[in-house]
Amino acid sequence: MISIGIVGATGYTGVELLRLLARHPEVRIAAVTSRGDAGTPVAAMFPSLRGVIDLNFVAPETEHLAACDAVFFATPHGVAHALAGALLEHGVRVIDLSADFRLRDPDLWARWYGQPHGAPQWLEQAVYGLPELNRERIRETRLLAVPGCYPTAVSLGLLPLLRAEAIDVSDVIADAKSGVSGAGRKAQVGGLFAEVGENFKAYASGGHRHWPEIRQTLEQVAGGPVGLVFQPHLVPMIRGIQATLYVRPLRLDIDFQSLFESFYRDEPFVDVMPAGSHPETASVRGTNLCRIAVARPVDSGRLAIFSVIDNLVKGASGQAIQGMNLMFGFPEQSGLDIVPVFP
């Protein structure tokens, strides 16, 4: 059994980590931190965890975390930069759900996040935590950069096609929709019920921070430049992402259904649905699953891929735990073998 610390556990990804790790057979939660809520019982902030988590929040100091085997950062960008190095030097494994170690180029990170990269010396050690792409490297790393929610949905929808060199990589369109929990738990006008309810809007058309992350992953697989259009939208639901991906096949004689089924046959958390299916976000709610379907729009010359995930689980906390399982040699599905909640 390993001991776990969670830095920044007052947000949605933090409480999701607590929910999932509380029932993990190989984990003991040792420290849950919040600088502003130190001393407050976790269950007082999150009544859903009453009788499940019997801990108080503590300040995010190295002394509270250095005795852990692994520490999760469920924090805004910039926080892990300041704290991760000291923990790594103490032999603690770090699993970062923020964007701090996802981009390999510190100057590119600085451009998109509006501040200098705070820990460039650790970037070479960081492994991008998409198990379906980097499983063996994840097993060996001490610093795991958990992918963003949009990048997870988009990348899983495109990996089989890129591996097979089956599409025109200069023309990739990712049209993605997310529920409001993707914006985090902070109070803001754009997240009010009266603003989001009965509304549907595009945002960040001038560039979203997940665009360079997605492109980095796709170019790693493609072995060269990828022309990517990524447009996110906000929809009036709490959880879930649907990414609809449009690509141009290089050949029309490929059985794309079989290609996807073969590529993901042994993946425990990717479900390729039967031909003609349309996956729904409700079908993955609360789980670490990604469901994918493939379609050929009539007379378009394109292929459409539909990819759905729960942004808080496979898009964040569940994928972080999947990575932890690989890092510590636990069965990959430990703590994540969950049936979706419906309705």
Give yes or no for residue 187 having a pLDDT over 80.
Answer: no
Give yes or no for residue 191 having a pLDDT over 90.
Answer: no
The answer to whether 60 touches 83, Cβ cutoff 8 Å, is yes
Q: What is the distance between the alpha carbons of residues 138 and 115, in angstroms, rounded to a whole number?
A: 28
CATH number of this structure's domain 150-310: 3.30.360.10
Give yes or no for residue 112 having a pLDDT over 80.
Answer: yes
According to the model, what pLDDT value does residue 183 have? 81
Residues 6 or more apart whose Cβ sits within 8 Å of residue 252: none
According to the model, what pLDDT value does residue 163 have? 98
Residue 337: CA atoms inside 13 Å, Cβ hemisphere, count?
7
Q: What is the pLDDT of residues 205-224, one digit of tens each?
A: 999 999 999 999 999 999 99
3-state secondary structure of 187: coil
Q: Is 206 exposed, middle or buried (0-12, 13-18, 19+ CB in 10 A)?
A: exposed
According to the model, what pLDDT value does residue 168 have? 98
Which of these is catalytic: 9, 65, 95, 149? 149
Q: Which two tokens stand for residue 187?
A: 């109070």
Whether 68 is catalytic is no
Question: Which secondary-structure segment (H or E) carries 306?
Answer: strand 303-309
Helices marked H in the chain = 12-21, 42-45, 62-65, 79-89, 106-113, 131-140, 149-163, 193-196, 210-222, 256-263, 318-327
- The CATH T-level fold of domain 2-124 is Rossmann fold (3.40.50)
Question: Which secondary-structure segment (H or E) carries 170?
Answer: strand 167-178
End-to-end Cα, the chain, rounded Å: 35
The residue behind tokens 């970062």 is 96
Residues 6 or more apart whose Cβ sits within 8 Å of residue 265: none
**b/e code 51-88 from CB counts within 10 Å (16+ = b):** eebebbbbebeeebbbebbbbbbbbebbbbbebbbebb
Other Cβ atoms less than 10 A from the Cβ of 221: the count is 17
Interior angle at CA 208, CA 295 and CA 188, nearest 5: 110
According to the model, what pLDDT value does residue 270 have? 98
| Mean pLDDT computed over every residue of the chain | 96
According to the model, what pLDDT value does residue 193 have? 85
Total residue count of the chain as it appears in this document: 343
pTM listed for this prediction:
0.96
According to the model, what pLDDT value does residue 192 have? 84
Give yes or no for residue 307 having a pLDDT over 80.
Answer: yes
C-alpha to C-alpha distances, 332 to 68, 200, 229, 238, 245, nearest whole angstrom: 21, 36, 33, 27, 28
Q: What is the pLDDT of residues 245-297, one digit of tens each?
A: 999 999 888 999 999 999 999 999 999 999 999 999 999 999 999 999 999 99
According to the model, what pLDDT value does residue 190 have? 81
Q: Which two tokens stand for residue 310?
A: 């729960």
Domain ranges of the chain: 2-124, 150-310
Mean pLDDT check: name the lowest of 58-67, 69-78, 214-223, 259-268. Answer: 58-67
